[in-house]
Amino acid sequence: MLGHSILEQSALVAAVVLSGIPTTIAHSWVEQLNRIAPNGTMIAPEGYQRAYVGRGDPGFKGDISDDLWQIPPNDRAAGAVIYPTDLLCAPQQKIGTYTNSKYPKLVTAPGDYVALRHQENGHVTLPATQQNKPRNRGTIYIYGTEKPGANDTLMSIHNVWNADGTGGDGRGRLLATRNYDDGQCYQVNSGDISTSRIKQFSKEASNPQGEDLWCQSDIQLPSDLTVGSDYTLYWVWDWPTLSKANAMIGDEGVEVTKPETYTSCMDLEIVDPCADDLGDVKSPACSSGNSKTKTKITNTFAKGQSYNSAAVPQELTGNFAVGVDGTNADSSSNTGMSAPPDLASGSGNSATTGSASKGGASPTAGAGVAASSSSSASTFSTVTTSAPSSAATNAGAAGATVTQLSTVTVTEGVTTVTVTASAAPDAAVGAVGENSTGGLVIPTPGVAPAVEPFTKRRRSRIERNLS
């Protein structure tokens, strides 16, 4: 699926803020896994999480019925509380669930470098849409085991398994920690962060990312994996609400007010480093004649390659971008900011800088409270479809250019949304809305658009773009 124009992407921004789309629509899971060649390029064939449903497949919803798994669920009567019985993997992501040949396991070898990619969906480039979220947009924890359990729970593994494999029941280990924001990924929209990154990490639109640049968690697999077996990865994204803005778990005085975790579960097929199943590019361990040989590819990374298929070089220096108990950060990847300091606030103003904290994930049972039902304010940028006059745009923008940043205060009710523009509207500028059939509309300048809640089962075009 090719990328979307700036007009469509701005509609997406408006939809997130205004429309009342369920928050799960905009969240993330592992879209694709790739081996990383010695030159730093992600190579085919791809692998997928268990029971993966493609975004273009019939029946795709992008919710907890297919690719997404949220802990705790939004509808829990007790509120945002994680139970000891909460399964780590979605019910449909049972061990070995690879029934669709279009979406197989990743075939890889011991010691290989692997990229796990996810879409940021505005969590990185539009940080103002949700208040008091972690500075690094949350921490990703990647666990590995050769002995997955059908009833593995989040609380029995997350923040329990450790890097040396001695934590909990000892069946697995913590392989890596990563910042959700890898320092370069973006969704094309009119926000400051996206605009900056599009210039810094420019690329051509290409499947499957389109104009967007997906985020990565690049890790090196253990060199002692058993050839001929499957190896399970658990991808855990902690996305809690904190008591302070621009903070990290572990910072002084920072508490988790609402836990929120998303997971993906996937199996890898482990083969010999020289196996034909790996395709033309064998594992680096193949040339050494020893599958347990540890390799480093930072020195062979090819500079200047397309961001469409390049790993993040800073993530190849070590598996731990965020320090945890017993393991110091050893990766030179992004230090926990979602953008340069002057863009981190999403408004062009300076923001407090800092590095990812050294500490665990959000507390579990009893740590969170239900989400507040009070009204909140958010901002987004408006666009014009006139000929470019004040800013260069992406090649696929069809002449659209951002000419004005108008502040819009949004007050959300149960079934209605009231919009009040605080800036005098330009005659050519309007907030992009959506009609009841899913079509994009540009309301009359100066007139607040009517926004209809999404209540139908069928997903609109904006909802599809969100996922």
Confirm if 132 and 239 have CB atoms less than 8 A apart. Answer: no
Tell me whether residue 305 is in a domain.
yes
**Helices of type H across 170-312:** 192-200, 284-288
Tell me whether residue 365 is in a domain.
no
- Output phi, psi for 403, to 5 deg: -120, -15
Give the pLDDT confidence of 229-253 residue by residue, as tens digits.
Answer: 999 999 999 999 999 998 988 889 9
Tell me whether residue 120 is in a domain.
yes
Quick one: pLDDT at residue 134?
A: 93
Tell me whether residue 199 is in a domain.
yes
Confirm if 238 and 139 have CB atoms less than 8 A apart. Answer: yes
Tell me whether residue 276 is in a domain.
yes
Number of domains making up the chain:
1
Q: Which residues, other chains included, contact 260 with Cβ-Cβ below 8 Å and sequence gap of 6+?
A: 70, 72, 80, 238, 239, 240, 241, 362, 368
Tell me whether residue 197 is in a domain.
yes
The domain in which residue 220 lies consists of 25-316
Residue numbers in the chain where pLDDT is lower than 50 = 1-25, 339-467
Q: Decide the pairing of beta strands 106-108 and 261-270.
A: parallel
Length of the chain: 467
Quick one: pLDDT at residue 59?
A: 82
Quick one: pLDDT at residue 145?
A: 98
Quick one: pLDDT at residue 364?
A: 39
Residue 177's nearest CA partner among 193, 149, 201, 158 is 158
Tell me whether residue 198 is in a domain.
yes
Tell me whether residue 218 is in a domain.
yes
